Structure 1
Amino acid sequence: MRFSSLKELAELCREEKLTIGELMLREQALESGTDEARVFGQMADYYKVMKEAVKKGLDEPAKSRSGLTGGDARRVLDYMQNGVSSLDGEACKALAYALSVSEVNATMGRIIATPTAGSCGIIPGVFVSSQERFGWPDDRLVMGLFAAGAIGYVIANNSFVSGAEGGCQAEVGSAIGMAAGALTELRGGTPEQALHAVGLALKNSLGLICDPVGGLVEIPCIVRNGFGAVTALAAADMAMAGIRSVIPSDEVIQVMLEVGSAMPEQHRETAKGGLAGTPTGKRIMKELSVQTQEGETRDDEVDQ
């Protein structure tokens, strides 16, 4: 890639009069040695999977294998449709859609990691709900995914996208930044506005720990995806309104690296601290361990 920072990305877009998505499509094609049509087609397939996951989680709500989660996306959507939501309908729909995809992940369904499975609901929640609201064709959302990919590329190469390395700020935080920047561009914002949205979103996620209860990508991961989708909408609106990230977005990414590096091991996806280390979290871990042992015993009896 010809850029390694968000500043360089914006400069290239300005010099070549391209959107972030258009530039990323061109760069990806050059790097992979594949024509742009093929690269675009692959991304279009990814977006199709995202839309399918949104629908599946809402139409076929199911309990996760652990039994800890399931059906919350449908509950939120039903609540919204009763007209009593504190959020407006569009934000509540993004919330429900993000929960839906995350619940599909928890039931071992097919999702696209954006940038990880633990944060897989945020971009689909924002994109699919926005597409329905504004009537955008799929091709426009696919270009949005290239914009999100360019932002994620910079974050991944300058900080973290892994919860095991940098906490949940690296997973959910990165996804919020990617979704916010891409949505700003989809709404007609400039590359500079899109990158301000990234900085605003990331600043609000700094220090978020990764503390999966029972070591599973369910609690609190799923609800964090829902909150993340709403935060991305807010960051995009702030940027479109003219609010700037006073600390440049590249510097915010460096802070995320600094904070993640200093984060204690128990707060980096080890299921030893945070919510996982509470009395209830420990009880759930013990119950899951018993279930696993009982399941292995039954499997051994069948094999014999």
Structure 2
Amino acid sequence: MPEELNYHSLAGLVRAAETAAQPLSALVLRQQAAQLEQTEAEVFHRMEENFRVMAACIEPGCDPDLRSTSGLTGGDAAKMRRRVEAGQNLTGPVLGGALYRALAVSELNAAMGRIVAAPTAGSCGILPAVLLTMQERGAAEHDCVMSMFTASAVGMVIAENACLAGAQGGCQAECGSAAAMAAAALVELSGGTPRMLDDAVAIALKSQLGLVCDPVAGLVEIPCIKRNAAGAAIAFMAAELALAGIGSRIPADEVIVAMRRVGNAMSPALKETAEGGLAATPTACRLRKQVFG
């Protein structure tokens, strides 16, 4: 029953979708509407507003003159977009489009623009990048919005069994989780089965297991913005493999638990403290002095 849907495990959600012979998003929407005592149309409209905020980030995020308050980042999305639109990029319009959109949303975030955390501000560019790229390829806005319910379900399972915060689990918990959520959304948008969704989540998370959180100068800019681009690429890769019928030997739920254990084992210097990793390099130290004196 939809009202009994829980987020203890992804396997449980997959079974529920298989039993109902419906996309996971439909079950999540129904259950959320019941919990919030709203109609499904009302809950859908709220998610639709989030999607449109994401979409509205692209143009300002691609402004070549955009700069963060620190002055460290901005303008890269415009460079990537020009290359894609000129047909010069190596990977074609799909991956190229996702790359510049991930940069655009992340750079707008660093410049204090309006964004949707998905699931965090530091990983805000990944889910919008893949969904808006799919919309450009012909996916209906309604279907993109519905896939966000599937992505949110994956995020809730990760939050319950591991974490979503870089300060707790490293960047694997932020960009890794966002890539897993985006991969799940891509599978649903592409007509994949619930079982493929589980595989895509596992593959995406495995590909970023152990990723540290080491923001230069303590700011969510370097290397965070480019990791959003990488996360979007990983989401497409994971979805492609899963849709081809390539499974993950390790189930998604076990990968999530492994991510939690890896995060717990990380040094505090590698969990958003800006004391280790790239944040401790000579160039990063120079940039910190440049920004803060």
TM-score by length of 1: 0.93
Aligned partner of 1:112 in structure 2 is 116
Matches within 5 A, 1:144-159: 144-159=147-162
From 221, 224, 235, the equivalent of 1:221 is 224
Q: Which runs of 4+ in 1 moved over 3 A?
A: none
Matches within 5 A, 1:14-53: 14-53=18-57
Deviations 1:161-190 (A, max 9, x none): 000000000000000000001100110001
Q: How far off its partner does 1:197 sit?
A: 0.3
Aligned partner of 1:295 in structure 2 is none
Stretches of structure 2 lacking an aligned partner (at least 5 in a row): none
Q: How far off its partner does 1:106 sit?
A: 0.5
Hey, what's the Cα distance between the residues in 2 that align with 1:113 and 1:249?
23
Matches within 5 A, 1:65-84: 65-84=69-88
Matched AA of 1:211: D
CA contact (8 A) 1:54 1:124 kept: no
Hey, what's the Cα distance between the residues in 2 that align with 1:251 and 1:31?
28
Secondary structure in structure 2 of the residue aligned to 1:136: coil
Hey, what's the Cα distance between the residues in 2 that align with 1:87 and 1:47?
26
Matched AA of 1:177: A
Hey, what's the Cα distance between the residues in 2 that align with 1:82 and 1:131?
20
Matched AA of 2:86: N
From 180, 188, 192, the equivalent of 1:189 is 192
From 228, 231, 236, the equivalent of 2:239 is 236
Matches within 5 A, 1:164-183: 164-183=167-186
Q: How far off its partner does 1:59 sit?
A: 4.2
Q: How far off its partner does 1:81 sit?
A: 2.6
CA distance 1:61–1:141, shift in 2 (3 Å):
farther
Deviations 1:196-255 (A, max 9, x none): 100000000100000000111100000000111111111100000000011010000000
From 232, 245, 249, the equivalent of 1:246 is 249
Hey, what's the Cα distance between the residues in 1 that align with 2:10 and 2:99?
27
From 90, 96, 102, the equivalent of 2:100 is 96
Aligned partner of 2:215 in structure 1 is 212
Task: State the identity %.
Answer: 49
Hey, what's the Cα distance between the residues in 2 that align with 1:2 and 1:23?
8
Stretches of structure 1 lacking an aligned partner (at least 5 in a row): 291-304
- The Cα RMSD (Å) is 1.0
Q: Which has the larger radius of gyration?
A: 1
Matched AA of 2:161: N
TM-score by length of 2: 0.96
Deviations 1:113-142 (A, max 9, x none): 000000000000000011101x22211111
Stretch deviating more after TM superposition (32-41 or 161-170): 32-41
CA distance 1:28–1:61, shift in 2 (3 Å):
farther
Aligned partner of 1:277 in structure 2 is 280
Secondary structure in structure 2 of the residue aligned to 1:156: helix
